[in-house]
């Protein structure tokens, strides 16, 4: 790992195995997060984004989930090789996660102050006194825009947006070096989504925290990310700098489909162009390209042979025809 990298995920594969079936959730995923930057993982629900995040946090369900290949290097150390005790010193303290739904992330019978302070009490490496922890809780509440006097209230006394601010305070109180935000605004009203998102980004910039932003929303990616991985059926099908994804010439057909399915006032198209079909069944191993059943450019080669990874100046696309001009390649 170079000095400006904080996280490097290499060839990560995760499956869920039950008595009835095996679900291939994440398939040979690789990406890098630089210090102080934001990496976006964008794709449909069920594409494997959250499983990747839970793998990094070592929060996968132990009974069913298996990591079958790869490395997760955080500050040079492989998280997959760490003991549960070593992981306790990382999770919540050096790497924190903001979960999607604040109602399920918060305990309804504990005050928000108790819940925010719990992470510090658990990790208390600086041996803070009770009063010092209380002060840290109050400061963190104010940091996320909640008056400190509200620390003794319960989650039901807060609106959805304020509850998500509490969850963000829980994630930030130990000054983590890396934050994973898993669809942090999806469960909120549209009117407060932008507010919460801009608060997360302001705090991230202020403290230089590195962040993985998991989302299905290209608008969120455009506003928050430096690097983007487009995830489809457990694979990263396109990866590059924000400009590569939003302004580059070459794209994976799935990325093209994502852009075609959002409103664009500049084009004359009166209707949105949905990506027809569904993601492939994750219980069935795929020989060729996973996107082939939905791809308008698919050939026999696509259906039978796994596409290679094309790369130019760090911009990667997994497609047999990447890098060849569209008009020529698909005639």
Judged by beta carbon, residue 167 or residue 319, the one nearer ligand SF4 is 319
Judged by beta carbon, residue 156 or residue 259, the one nearer ligand SF4 is 259
Rounded to whole angstroms, the maximal C-alpha distance in the chain is 71
DSSP structure string for 171-214:
HHTT--SEEEEESTTTTS-HHHHHHHHHHHHHHHHHHT-EEEEE
Minimum CB–partner distance for residue 321 and ligand SF4 (Å): 5
Q: For residue 329, what are its two tokens?
A: 């390649």
Cα 109 to Cα 222: distance, rounded to the nearest angstrom: 38
Q: What are phi and psi of 299, to 5 degrees?
A: -125, 175
Laid out side by side, the sheet with 5-17 consists of: 22-34, 5-17, 65-74, 77-78
Minimum CB–partner distance for residue 143 and ligand SF4 (Å): 44
Judged by beta carbon, residue 75 or residue 256, the one nearer ligand SF4 is 256
Minimum CB–partner distance for residue 305 and ligand SF4 (Å): 9
Task: Enumerate binding residues for ligand SF4 (CB under 6 A).
Answer: 252-253, 289, 291-292, 295, 297-298, 302, 307, 319-321
Judged by beta carbon, residue 211 or residue 286, the one nearer ligand SF4 is 286
Cα 28 to Cα 208: distance, rounded to the nearest angstrom: 29
Judged by beta carbon, residue 36 or residue 260, the one nearer ligand SF4 is 260
Cα 115 to its chain centre, rounded Å, is: 24
Minimum CB–partner distance for residue 9 and ligand SF4 (Å): 22
Minimum CB–partner distance for residue 280 and ligand SF4 (Å): 12
């Amino acid at each position: 790992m170079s000095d400006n990298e904080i996280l490097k995920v290499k060839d990560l594969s995760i499956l869920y195995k039950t008595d009835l079936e095996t679900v291939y959730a994440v398939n040979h995923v690789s990406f890098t997060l630089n210090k102080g930057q934001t990496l976006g993982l964008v794709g449909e629900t069920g594409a494997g984004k959250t499983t990747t995040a839970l793998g990094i946090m070592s929060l996968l369900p132990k009974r069913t989930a298996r990591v079958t290949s790869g490395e997760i290097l955080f500050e040079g150390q492989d998280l997959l090789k760490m003991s549960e005790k070593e992981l306790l010193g990382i999770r919540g303290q050096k790497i924190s996660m903001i979960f999607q739904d604040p109602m399920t992330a918060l305990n309804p019978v504990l005050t928000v102050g108790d819940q925010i302070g719990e992470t510090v009490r658990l990790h208390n490496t600086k041996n803070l006194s009770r009063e010092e922890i209380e002060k840290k809780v109050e400061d963190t509440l104010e940091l996320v825009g909640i008056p400190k006097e509200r620390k003794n209230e319960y989650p039901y006394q807060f609106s959805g947006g304020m509850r998500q601010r509490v969850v963000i305070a829980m994630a930030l109180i130990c000054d983590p070096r890396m934050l994973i935000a898993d669809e942090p605004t999806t469960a909120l009203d549209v009117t407060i989504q932008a507010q919460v998102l801009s608060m997360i980004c302001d705090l991230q910039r202020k403290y230089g925290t590195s962040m993985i932003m998991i989302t299905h929303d290209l608008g969120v990616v455009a506003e928050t990310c430096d690097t983007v991985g487009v995830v489809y059926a457990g694979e990263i099908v396109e990866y590059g700098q924000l400009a590569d994804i939003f302004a580059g010439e070459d794209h994976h057909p799935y990325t093209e489909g994502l852009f075609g399915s959002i409103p664009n006032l500049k084009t004359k198209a009166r209707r949105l162009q949905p990506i027809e079909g569904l993601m492939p069944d994750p219980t069935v191993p795929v020989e060729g390209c996973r996107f082939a059943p939905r791809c308008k450019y698919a050939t026999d080669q696509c259906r039978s042979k796994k596409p290679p990874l094309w790369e130019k100046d760090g911009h990667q696309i997994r497609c047999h025809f990447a890098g060849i001009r569209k008009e020529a390649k698909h005639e």
